[in-house]
Every structure is written in structure tokens, then in C-alpha cells.
Structure 1
């Protein structure tokens, strides 16, 4: 077992605000430590291949950043910690991109390509350990309800603004930017789901569909760029397949984006926080 990492039962680890947490600060620390400890344990698990390990660690980083965006209004260290976690994830980017390129190539019917497994980049484990030390003392200031309302509202507003930007200029860069905020909104729905599971779960599911569609679109964009850099340019057949799949993903994403935009972010946030208060009082 990794030093300083608690033993975690995956069935009890909850990426969710719960009534058991006395305060929002308690939720912040618990959820952060669960994600960090899970990452440290993954690094010590010989059964995990490098591809799955990198995937798991990047997922932990994204969940942590989503958590921080939820409480950033009352979290003085939010910007610094968000940047630190972003930099940790970037250490893993080359391994992840290599794996995604090969998977995308295979899914489009490309010829088999051999791949050498890369070692875990230096600094990842130390970065997780240092993050754990800090997360155990993370502190919030302000009223919990106000912190949640502002965090939920701002991320939903950024998601809608990114959607409008992508609608105005349909580019891979704009869709990737939209995906960032759609993913944080998805994580916020996960974190708030206990407030009223039925209605929020439905929103959570559609936000996940949107984030994953935009993620697949980005993977295809990276793949097409790599194809174009080849000595003979992009093979026509693979290029056509990739672009066709991107168009289908764009249609799916824009349809979902219009539906999400029908809810005003501030109204949505106030409703969820009101449900959260009721769930804690019941």
C-alpha cells in the first residue's frame, strides 16, 4: 500500500455532498482526500496497466478540479490548487494522447499499430502526495448555500457561453472549450445529486452524454491533425470517416446545448441549493 494513502472501499467512496458531512468544508476535504488516496493506491496497484492507470489519474484530477470550481467562491486557495492539479494532469497528457490516437485509429478501421508502454512521468506521485497534505487542511469561508449557488451558477453560465461561442464559430478549439465546462457541470450534478436524486440524476446523465460527445469530437480532431502531418497527408478514407463521425457528434452536442440553455443558470443553482437545504433538514 502506498504511504500516506488510506485504504479505500470503492463501494463507499462517494463523489457527492452527503448529509453525513456536517459542513460544506467537511464535504470538500472528504471528497478531495478520497480522490487523491484512490490515485495513490492506483499507482501502487501492479494489476493496472499503464493505460488504465493514466486514465484513472486524469479522471481523479478532473473530479478534483470540478469540486474546486463548485466551492471556489469561498475557497481562497482555489486558483492555486486548480492550477496545481491542472499541471499534474498535464504531466500525463502525452501518455493519454498516445493511447487515444491509437484507439481512434483502430475504431476508424486503420491498420494495427504497435505501441511501447511509457513509464509514469516523474513528479506525478510526489505531486499527489503534496496535494494530499494540503487538501487535509483546505478551508472555506462564507455561507455554504451562497458558496454553492455561486459555484453552480458560474460553471453553468460558462458552459452556456461556450456553447454560444461554438455555435457562432464551429471549430474544434471552441468545441473543446465547451467540453471543459460541460464536464464541470456534469461533475456538479454528480456532487449535488443527493439533494433530489431523480431530477438531478436526469440532468447529470445528459451532461455526461454532452461531455463525452465533445470529448470524442476532440479526440477525432487531434487524430485528424496527426494524420495531416504524415508524409503523404491524411488518407482520404480515414479522413472522411473521422469527419463524418465528428459531424454526427456536433449535431448531438448542439441539440443538447440548446436544451441546457433553456434553464437560466441562476435559477437552476437556486433550485438545487434549495433542494440541498431540504435534504439536510429532513
Structure 2
């Protein structure tokens, strides 16, 4: 199911189609046994996509709070295991390359660190009974799917999406300002979440003008990746200290390298964010409203 509202369908029908498709895909990820940790990652993504779709019509969906909490809680059942696997990915994709570039630790030390992270993940998966948790998440998704056709979306047309679009964009814009005023982990973590919601909403609204919206989504993807990498490094540093992973001297070396890399990512994210969130919320909503009218009422974009 394409994650996009189509010009020839009502907003209500489109949101229900999209939510149903993503929920069913999440169930398929669990049933297909694509690999436990890959299943965890994909199911969590599907829950985020469902929540973003509901968030777009939040002002006209009276049951938004219940639906949002349902999929949020389903994803949380497997969040610790996902975080443990993400720590290995962060090590492979960011920490180890940065350490090797700095020639700061030898290969045996790095290999031992990775073994520690893998053992940590596998132990957590066993303790929390990953199979049982995925089975419970599947039940959550089946329950949610049963409600999709009755989602009480109160209106259609651009009015149905304008309020949710404005709220998500405004929050992302405000969180950017706060992150650069006080560049700690919490502020950038919050900004990252809001960037993702606005990116999902830009994807849902891509048909209002395909070319410009594709460009915007591409820029949002780049920004999301940059701030996502920053967040992953910050979480890695917090985790290794909280759990006393690795030798103290190794943690000290990693702290220095992670701080430097996070600063680089902060600098990379700033110009992207300033461009993407330059407009006032009302201006962005009005501009996309003109696109919506042109596409839905005059000349639907092929």
C-alpha cells in the first residue's frame, strides 16, 4: 500500500487504507520470520508510520489519543531489544570507523567491544523472551486492524490534514531552535522525533505536487539521517557509561571521539534545518493548501 494520499480518494478513505496496509505489513513481518532483530526493526517502523498517519488527521480524529497510545505501547514492548541491536549498528557504522580513522584503539580491542555488544543484545533478547514479545505485538496489531474501518475521521479535504500538518511542522521548527540553544542529547533527540513526523507527513502529502514534495522529502531524509546519527552516538555514549561497558581508558577514548563526531553532525544539520524550517507554520500550511487545491480541484498530478 502506497504511503500517500491519492487525489481520487477522500482523506478518510486514504488514511484508513494506509493504516490498514501498514498494520497488515507489520503482521507480515512477524509471520514471515525474516529474522528476529530485523522483524523488531521493521515492526517498529510500521508502528511509527501508523502513528504519523493518525497524527496528520489528529484534530479531526476523536480517537487519536487511544490509537496513538495503542501503537506506541506495542512498539515499546520491543524497544529495549531494538536499542540493544541498534548499539551494534552504531558501533559498526559510526564508532569503529571514527576510531580507526583516529588510529585510537587496536583491532583486537575493537573486536572485543563488538563481542561485548552482541552478547549484551543476545542476553537481553533471551531475558525478555523476544518470541513471546513479538507474539504479543502481533496481537496488538490484529486488535488495531479490527478498528481501522471505523476510525471516526470527522471531515475530508485539506481541512482534515491542515491542522495536523501545522502542529507537526511547528513542533519540529521549535525543537530545532531549542536544540541549538542547548545542544544536549535530550533536545536533539526531541528534534529528531519531530523531523521524522514532518517527513512522514510530507510523504503522505506527496501528490499535492510530486516534484517539489519529492525534493523536500529528500532533504528531510538527509536531515533525519544526520540528526539520527548524532542521536545514535549520544545514546551509545550514555549506554556504555550507564552499564560500565569496556575499560575506563577505552570509554575515555570513545568519549573524546564521539563528542567530536557529534559536533560535526550538529554543524551539518544546522543549514539543512534552517532551510527546511524557514517558513512560519501558517505560511507552509497555506502554501501546501494551494498545491492541494490545484491538484485535487483543477489538474490532478499524474
> What's the TM-score, normalizing by structure 1?
0.90
Aligned to 1:203: 216
Q: After superposition, what is the alpha-carbon deviation per residue over 1:201-239, rounded to whole angstroms, capped at 9, x for unaligned? A: 111111111122222211111110122231644523322
Q: After superposition, what is the alpha-carbon deviation per residue over 1:4-60, rounded to whole angstroms, capped at 9, x for unaligned? A: xxxxxxxxx200001242x110011000000000111111113x1112111111110
Residue of structure 2 aligned with 1:49, choices 11, 22, 35? 35
Moved over 6 A (4+): none
Between Structure 1 and Structure 2, the one with more helix by share is: 2
Mapped contact 2:77–2:137 kept (Cα < 8 A): yes
Map 1:1-282 → 2, pairs under 5 A: 13-21=1-9, 23-46=10-33, 48-107=34-93, 108-109=95-96, 110-111=110-111, 112-113=114-115, 114-115=118-119, 116=122, 118=125, 119-120=130-131, 121=133, 122-229=135-242, 230=244, 232-233=247-248, 235-281=251-297, 282=299
SS of aligned partner of 1:242: helix
Q: Which runs of no fewer than 5 residues in structure 1 stay unpaired? A: 1-12
| Distance (whole Å) between structure 2 residues aligned to residue 179 and residue 25 of structure 1 | 28
How far apart are 1:168 and its partner, in Å? 1.4
| Distance (whole Å) between structure 2 residues aligned to residue 195 and residue 64 of structure 1 | 20
Mapped contact 2:16–2:148 kept (Cα < 8 A): yes
| Distance (whole Å) between structure 2 residues aligned to residue 200 and residue 40 of structure 1 | 30
- Two-structure CA RMSD over aligned residues (Å): 1.6
SS of aligned partner of 2:173: helix
Q: After superposition, what is the alpha-carbon deviation per residue over 1:151-174, rounded to whole angstroms, capped at 9, x for unaligned? A: 111111100110111121111000
Mapped contact 1:165–1:174 kept (Cα < 8 A): yes
Q: Which runs of no fewer than 5 residues in structure 2 stay unpaired? A: 97-109
How far apart are 1:123 and its partner, in Å? 1.8
| Distance (whole Å) between structure 1 residues aligned to residue 62 and residue 207 of structure 2 | 26
| Distance (whole Å) between structure 1 residues aligned to residue 57 and residue 147 of structure 2 | 16
| Distance (whole Å) between structure 2 residues aligned to residue 56 and residue 217 of structure 1 | 21
Mapped contact 2:51–2:71 kept (Cα < 8 A): yes
Aligned to 2:104: none
Mapped contact 2:57–2:160 kept (Cα < 8 A): yes
